[in-house]
Structure 1
Amino acid sequence: MRITAQRLNRATLARQLLLRRQPLGVADAVRRVVALQAQQPASPYLALWNRLTAFDPADLDTAFAGHTLVKATLMRITLHVVHADDHPAMHAAMQPTLRAARLGDPRFTVSGLRAADADALLPELLEFADRPCTAAEVEAWLGARLGVPPKGVWWALRSFAPLLHTPTGGPWSFGSRPSYVAAGTSPASGGEAASDAHLRTLVRHYLEGFGPASVADVAQFALVRRSRVQDALKALSGVLERLEGPGGTELFDVPGAPLPAEDTPAPPRLMAMWDSILLAYADRSRVIPPDYRKLVARSNGDVLPTLLVDGYVAGVWRPVEGGIEATAFHRLPAETWEGLAAEARSLVPLLAGREPRAYRRHDRWWATLPGAEVRVLPGR
């Protein structure tokens, strides 16, 4: 079966609950979309607001407080919100990547410790972190335990140890100074072979939420070696479908997953900063026109909150006094502006109850952005 680029776009939107908002609870929604990128505390809330009918941010507060949903370093070595039941397998699948990225880094090796030393520390660290601990508390414990400067050691351990971020309060549950707690699972054992078994689970889950996708797409989503992805897909070959994508690219998918028609309407959306659909593919043209990629994905890794128009990035937005400032990179028709204005009227009250100027610390990027049209969409 051949599939066009436009149909791939609509498949992503359908599976990511962006063709129409769905009447789901927050925990079920997160499982449906696999994970929510969470470097910026407001983003999981805005990601779910884009996807759910009658989204109440208090429901997400409750899910975090009750550890139904958890925040941890996972795919792409970045912070994600995932369902607590999915965290152990995702963390185990990511272990080779997380370990290699940290234990070979000079910030860790300058301590004089080896990877085996870090592994030996894990059981004691998890015992110490059986209650929420600040970074300062963990560093003090490590310093006393090791007798060496702990900063680089803690930088490495906090990424690959089975640790969760715990809510610290504030408008979005998590503030700028994280607190950590043991995930309640043992450190991964069994080496890469055991990790690969969990990777197969992650790959299937990814295809359910983002497919159809290529080997390169899966590898980009998780930041794992393509050879591991190829092995996982080979092991799953009996339960996956193969398709031909644009340019003859081989794509993989789960049977029965949504594949809407090319002409399926896609409503406008005000997407969260670092929304997962912008980062889940090696071929980001699925949702970001190539000319716009460097405008929304900035040089330091920031991925700006975007306007999604007819399924594709068409500009950026930010909260300002009086509403939402929308900067379109090309001219938009009147009906699209009406749709974006309706989204702004829904979003502004949510922000007002939490943090009216969310993302303000990233305003510097707007100084150099081109804009074919810039409008302030009022919040009422």
Structure 2
Amino acid sequence: MAITARALNRSTLARQLLLGRESLDVVDAVRRVVALQAQHPASPYLALWNRLSDFDPAGLETAVDGFQVVKSTLMRITLHMVHAEDYRAFREAMEPTLRASRLGDARFTASGLTLDDADALVPDLLKYADRPRTSAEMRGWLEERVGAPMEPVTWRMLRQYAPLWHAPVGGPWSFGTVQSYVAADTLPVLTDPDAAAEGLRTLIRRYLEGFGPASVADMAQFALVQRARVRTAVQALAGELEQLEGPGGTVLYDIPGAPRPAEDTPAPPRLMAMWDSILLAYADRSRVVPPAYRKLVTRVNGDVLPTLLVDGHVAGVWRPVDGGIEATAFHPLPGPVWQGLAAEARSLRALLADRDPRVYSRYDHWWTKGLPAAETRLLTGD
């Protein structure tokens, strides 16, 4: 069976709750969309606001406080929020990547610590983190344990490898500049190839549920794991997956019966969060990001700007400014689209008003450096 590029776009939007806001509990919503990119504390909130009707940020805070939804270093070696029940399998899937990239990093090995040292330290570190501990407390504990000062970067490599959850510290978005950590409730099995293989199979199933259909390259990009590992996992799942032919003859895989809306299904405009997962979940990002715009929204240092999503594709960027939301379109947009974006801006400003009206303002320098614009409008939502 063949599937077009536009139909792939609509499949992603449907599974990511972006064809129409749905009435879901935030915990169920996080499970549905698989993982929320969480480098910036506000982004999971804005991601769910884009996807849920009557989204109440207090619901996410309750889920975070109760560790029903957890934040940790996972896919692509970066911070994600995931359902707590998904965490163990996802972390086991990521074990080879995290171990090589964190404990094999020259900044870690330069400390004089070895893999054996790390393996000896981590279990006791997790016991110490049986309740939330600040970053300073945990680093101090490690320094006492090894009998020497520990460079901040060494501690960063070790904490990103260890199965630690970020503990909420309050503030407008649950997490802030002060960092606190706690050991995962159900600890993953580390350094076990069989556990890693089973975890990857689970991660692939979940990825396809939330982002499919997808190629081996897409799956590898989403997680940042070796394609050979993904191919092995896909082969093991062969009896559970459907195979499709994508654009250019690309082999795609999917969960049988998963939503695949018609390619002419309407897609409403959205103001997407920084680093929204749909912008990063594929090797072929043209599913959502037109190739001409990719470098405009994904900057040289990896910052992924908050984007305008129009007809399911990136059409520009946005940022809060005094008086409203400044929307910069990379190509001309029709009047009804601007009206839809203005309605979104009104809702977004209400969400931000009591929390952080100038969210993402630290990234304003990308605008001062210049962005191509067919049109820029101040969306007040009035």
The answer, yes or no, to whether TM exceeds 0.5 is yes
Shift of 1:149: 3.0
- What is the distance in 1 between the residues matched to 2:158 and 2:360? 29
Shift of 1:103: 1.1
- What is the distance in 1 between the residues matched to 2:188 and 2:45? 30
- What is the distance in 1 between the residues matched to 2:67 and 2:227? 32
The answer (yes or no) to whether the contact 2:5–2:247 under 8 Å persists in 1 is yes
- What is the distance in 2 between the residues matched to 1:197 and 1:217? 19
Matched residue, 1:32: 32
Matched residue, 1:55: 55
The answer (yes or no) to whether the contact 2:89–2:188 under 8 Å persists in 1 is no
- What is the distance in 2 between the residues matched to 1:183 and 1:369? 42
Counterpart AA for 1:324 = I
Counterpart AA for 2:344 = E
The answer (yes or no) to whether the contact 2:269–2:310 under 8 Å persists in 1 is yes
Matched residue, 2:66: 66
Matched residue, 2:169: 168
Shift of 1:138: 1.1
Once structures 1 and 2 are overlaid, which stretch shifts more, 18-27 or 187-196?
187-196
Query: Are positions 1:341 and 2:342 aligned together?
Result: yes
**Number of equivalenced pairs:** 380
- What is the distance in 1 between the residues matched to 2:146 and 2:198? 34
Counterpart AA for 1:165 = H
Gap regions ≥5 residues in structure 1? none
- What is the distance in 2 between the residues matched to 1:126 and 1:173? 22
- What is the distance in 1 between the residues matched to 2:347 and 2:123? 47
Matched residue, 2:114: 114
The 5-angstrom pairing of residues 1-380 of structure 1 reads: 1-151=1-151, 152-186=153-187, 188-189=189-190, 191-367=192-368, 368-380=370-382
Shift of 1:358: 0.4
Shift of 1:327: 0.3
- What is the distance in 2 between the residues matched to 1:218 and 1:124? 34
- What is the distance in 2 between the residues matched to 1:325 and 1:153? 40
Counterpart AA for 1:375 = R
The answer (yes or no) to whether the contact 1:122–1:187 under 8 Å persists in 2 is no
The answer (yes or no) to whether the contact 2:88–2:187 under 8 Å persists in 1 is no
The answer (yes or no) to whether the contact 2:91–2:188 under 8 Å persists in 1 is no
- What is the distance in 2 between the residues matched to 1:188 and 1:96? 12
- What is the distance in 2 between the residues matched to 1:149 and 1:307? 46
Counterpart AA for 1:312 = H
Shift of 1:139: 1.2
Shift of 1:190: 5.5
Counterpart secondary structure, 1:86: helix
- What is the distance in 1 between the residues matched to 2:234 and 2:342? 43
- What is the distance in 2 between the residues matched to 1:289 and 1:138? 44
- What is the distance in 2 between the residues matched to 1:26 and 1:186? 24
Shift of 1:114: 1.0
Shift of 1:147: 2.0
Counterpart AA for 1:270 = L
Shift of 1:90: 0.7
- What is the distance in 2 between the residues matched to 1:213 and 1:372? 32
RMSD: 1.0
TM-score normalised to structure 1 length: 0.98
The answer (yes or no) to whether the contact 1:347–1:379 under 8 Å persists in 2 is no
Counterpart AA for 2:62 = T
Counterpart secondary structure, 1:358: coil
TM-score normalised to structure 2 length: 0.98
The list of structure 1 runs, each at least 4 consecutive aligned residues, that deviate by more than 4 angstroms after superposition, is none
Report sequence identity in percent. Answer: 70
- What is the distance in 1 between the residues matched to 2:190 and 2:310? 45
Counterpart AA for 1:109 = T
- What is the distance in 1 between the residues matched to 2:223 and 2:149? 31
Counterpart AA for 1:345 = R
The answer (yes or no) to whether the contact 1:42–1:358 under 8 Å persists in 2 is yes
Deviations 1:314-357 (Å, cap 9, x if unpaired)? 00001111111000001100010000001011110110021100
Counterpart AA for 1:147 = G
